[in-house]
Chain A
Amino acid sequence: MEGLVLKLPLAFQTLVTGLAIGGIYALMAVGYSLIFSILNFSNFAYGMVIMLASFLGYFAMSGLGLGLGPALLCAMLGAALLSFLNERVAYSSLRRRRAPPLYFMISAMGTSIFLENMVYATIGSRYNAYPELFAVPTLNIFGASIGKMDLFAMVFSVLAISALTFFIHHTRLGIAIRGASYDASMAELNGVSLDWLIGTVFALAGLFAGLSGVFLGIKYMAYPNMGWITNKAYIAAVIGGLGSLPGAVAGGFLLGVLETFVSVYLSSTLRDVFSFSLLILFLVLMPSGLFGKTLEEKV
């Protein structure tokens, strides 16, 4: 009995920590899934956009001395532009000549290597810590401590995702995006400019990359080798079902919580093996994830 009393707070603490990181995973997965839903391929360059956004936020706060709000805005706009350019340079011509998905992925990997090493070569491999935002950084909720920044990130993530859901369901542009995600050529026949729409989707995903980049930077610092954590974006998206936004959110939180439990109760080194094994398990057994629509490759 005593053991149980001692152990419960740890479980609760683990849950809270897991939810805090899960919020950021959800944010990343939403942006990743958004691109997947419309172009139907896995944009590996997305992680590097998140990494660059994290640097943008760092420079805005440490270099220019901006507050959190303006820095977030800077990072979001910068990442949106970057994501948009990524599509125009690396994917738009492939799209026009209807290249196989293989080509898109190679192009995405190329972009990803290019961006990561560009940062190594120009900015350097140092870890850049964001300035402290709160004097007392943690808060106590029912015996579990949570960083104020984590709480803010979590609330903000939920707000941002709700805003996106509203946008997707209740605006003309959102309806066009949903239409194109089912059948791009049909949407085009109905007068949607696909070029413009896809550009918008990449910019929109970039906004989410910007948000998650800054939150990740605050939590883990900004450095070029962030791929290990931005990889979680597609793991979470696969768990939830690629291309499904509610799925991405659920997958993000689920992955965050499961991962934290593994690292607390089993071993922290096993955490990433666990996540990748989960990824493979889902791909093999449940390729459409928890919420995804069943997608067959188009002939």
Chain B
Amino acid sequence: MTYLKGIAILAMINAISAVGLAVFTGFTGMMSLGHAAFMAVGAYTCAIATKTFGLPFLLALPLAGLVAGLSSLLIGIPTLRANLRSDYFTIATLGFGEAMRVLLENLTITNGARGMAGLKNHSTFGVTLAVLVLVIFFAKNFVFSRYGRMAIAIREDPVAAELSGIGLFPVRLRSMFFSAVCAGIGGALMAHHIRFIQPSMFTGVQSTLLTATVVAGGMGSLTGPVLAAFLFAFVPELLRVADMWRLVAYGALLVAIIVLRPQGLMGYRELSLRRPSGRRRAPNG
């Protein structure tokens, strides 16, 4: 039971970061390959706050989200303001992620590549679940707000959105900030679940897995990525496959989804207790 609980906690942590990224990739149409860096910022902020400065966890957790969000401005403001082509932006986030990892490996406050051990276990099932529910609630409100509508308009057609008077930069930056806060909180929860962090946990592979979760869940859905996060955590665990083959399967799955079923598991739909109101148009591709 504790074993299953452990996997569920990891799944929820991934889901928290994935919901954030869903807002940025699924609803705003920007692809990031550097979100592991925001997880890392959150994880280290929380670990340093609780371990080095003795802050209570419930104070350190929002702080981790905030610092991760602020760090996203560092890369978000210059790249989004320059209105880079979408693939240039992705390359820039990849570069940011790598640079951040190398930086963490060489700072003294983060204890370099050896990482930080002996963190307390604060990420209980209850806490993680509460945070996940809260994040989904905020994301849902965000997506259904005026800002979310603008983001969707930009995803569908940036040029048309801009011609309709929507500023690309503030909307994209807002989505990015939100997703970075979620990633930071996810990272902080991860630090206090695994109770050990090191820079090599937050590589480009981790970023890609987050993106894979969003893509598999459906770009344009919030609950889809949550579902995908649970599947990605439980299925390999139950099949007891080795870690390497798991990543091989993720890679193949990512290509297969994009080539064969670009709408992912859920497409634009949401998991709901209510009866689905008919099929909606799948994302084109």
Chain A residues near B (Cβ < 8 Å): 41-42, 89-90, 93-94, 97, 99-103, 105-107, 109-118, 120-121, 227-228, 231, 234-235, 238, 242, 269-270, 272-273, 276-277, 279-280, 283-285, 287, 295-297, 299
Contact = CB atoms under 8 A, between A and B. Distances in A.
Majority DSSP secondary structure for residues of A touching B? helix
B258 A106 contact: yes
A297 to B, nearest CB: 5
B95 A284 contact: no
B262 A280 contact: no
A118 B251 CA distance: 10
Interface in B13-30: 25, 29
B262 A109 contact: no
Which 9 residue pairs of A and B lie closest in terms of their CB atoms, listed nearest first?
A114-B251, A110-B254, A113-B251, A117-B247, A276-B95, A110-B255, A121-B244, A276-B99, A99-B285
Interface stretch (B3-11, B138-146, B205-213): B205-213
Contact of B33 (A97, A109, A110, A299): A109
B273 interface: no
A280 B78 contact: yes
B242 A121 contact: yes
Contacts of A90: 255, 258-259
Contacts of B106: 269-270
Contacts of A89: 255, 259
B71 interface: no
Interface stretch (B84-92, B121-129, B180-188): B84-92
Interface in B240-279: 242, 244-245, 247-248, 250-255, 258-259, 262
A283 B285 CA distance: 27
Contacts of B90: 42, 105
Contacts of A269: 102, 105-106
A99 B255 CA distance: 13
A238 B212 contact: no
Contacts of B239: none
A113 B259 contact: no
B209 to A, nearest CB: 8
A116 B88 CA distance: 23
B251 A283 contact: no
B282 interface: no
B96 interface: yes
A110 B259 CA distance: 11
A121 B245 CA distance: 6
Interface of B: 25, 29, 31, 33, 75, 78-79, 82, 84-92, 95-96, 98-99, 102-103, 105-106, 159, 204-205, 208, 211-212, 215, 242, 244-245, 247-248, 250-255, 258-259, 262, 284-285
A298 B123 CA distance: 46
A297 B86 contact: yes
Majority DSSP secondary structure for residues of B touching A? helix
Nearest to A91: B259
A87 to B, nearest CB: 12
Contacts of A114: 248, 250-252, 254-255
Contacts of B92: 279-280, 283-284
B242 to A, nearest CB: 7
Residue picked from A106, A280, A297, most chain B C-beta under 10 Å: A106
Contacts of A42: 87, 90-91
A272 B102 contact: yes
Contacts of B89: 283
A294 B252 CA distance: 34
B31 A110 contact: no
B85 A287 contact: yes
B258 A94 contact: yes
A173 to B, nearest CB: 26
B28 to A, nearest CB: 11
A115 B98 contact: no
Contacts of A93: 259
A159 B8 CA distance: 56
Contact of B86 (A102, A115, A272): A102
B239 to A, nearest CB: 15
Contacts of B33: 109
Contacts of A280: 75, 78-79, 92, 95-96, 99
A287 B251 contact: no
A284 B251 contact: no
13 contacts: A42-B90, A42-B91, A89-B255, A89-B259, A93-B259, A99-B262, A107-B254, A109-B211, A113-B251, A118-B251, A227-B204, A272-B99, A276-B96
Nearest to B157: A299
A295 B102 contact: no
Nearest to A112: B251
Contacts of A277: 95, 99
Contact of A283 (B84, B211, B284): B84
A287 B259 CA distance: 29
A270 B211 CA distance: 28
